[in-house]
Amino acid sequence: MGKKWLDIVYNEKSSIKLKQHYKFWADDYDRDLVDWGYAYPSQLKKVMSQDIKVKKDSKILDAGCGTGLVAQVLSDMNFKNIVGLDYSIDMLKIAKNKKIYKRLIHESLNKKTSLRSNQFDIVLCTGVLTSGHVGAKAINELIRVTKNKGYLILSIAESIFEKLGFKDEIEKNKKQISKIKISKPFIALPNHKSSATSKMYLFQRV
């Protein structure tokens, strides 16, 4: 399928079919994204090394972790207390083999998760808050599980930030989260013609 997978998953409206698409893409997912110049790992490394100071034993949630491609950066930086959550069991199987997560959870971010409130020092959600995947309402859930004074690191594509309600949802929650930094726009997959231009949003729960 090659480059067609990106168009397929971002245009899919059915959550059931989306899960099937990721089942068939799972084995080639990492290779494809690396070939396309996947920018989120380097963007996350920049945030973690330049914009916040946190202990190496910080409890981190990788929300929408997929195969663990982004969290590998955290592992390489010696962060070991990482929990992964994803809707695709097939992607989670690959993530498990990488041995970078303390725990993996098979749940959807489009519903309230089983995670208890106020437990993570950092909540990371990259490449997930987007068309066909996880909607703006999930921001409430991500805030809920973040500790007071903890950090949220979110990627959101410019083209959908207002259109799909992310701007409004962030505004609604401004009493709960304070904005620390918004990155310059960057192309998430520079070697793929269908790639979105995204920004990284860094918030602190207050």
Domain ranges of the chain: 4-205
The neighbouring-strand residues paired with 143 are none
Lookup result for tokens 């993996």: 104
Looking at the chain, which runs of residues are DSSP E strands? 60-63, 82-86, 103-106, 120-125, 146-157, 177-182, 186-187, 197-205
Statement: 4-205 belongs to CATH 3.30.870.10: no
pLDDT band at 28; cut points 50, 70, 90: confident
Among 17-31, 61-75, 133-147, 162-176, which stretch is predicted with the lowest mean pLDDT? 17-31
How large is the angle between the packed helices 15-35 and 4-11, nearest 10 degrees? 150
Question: Given this model, what pLDDT does residue 13 score?
Answer: 61
pLDDT at 24 over 90: no
Q: What is the pTM of this model?
A: 0.90
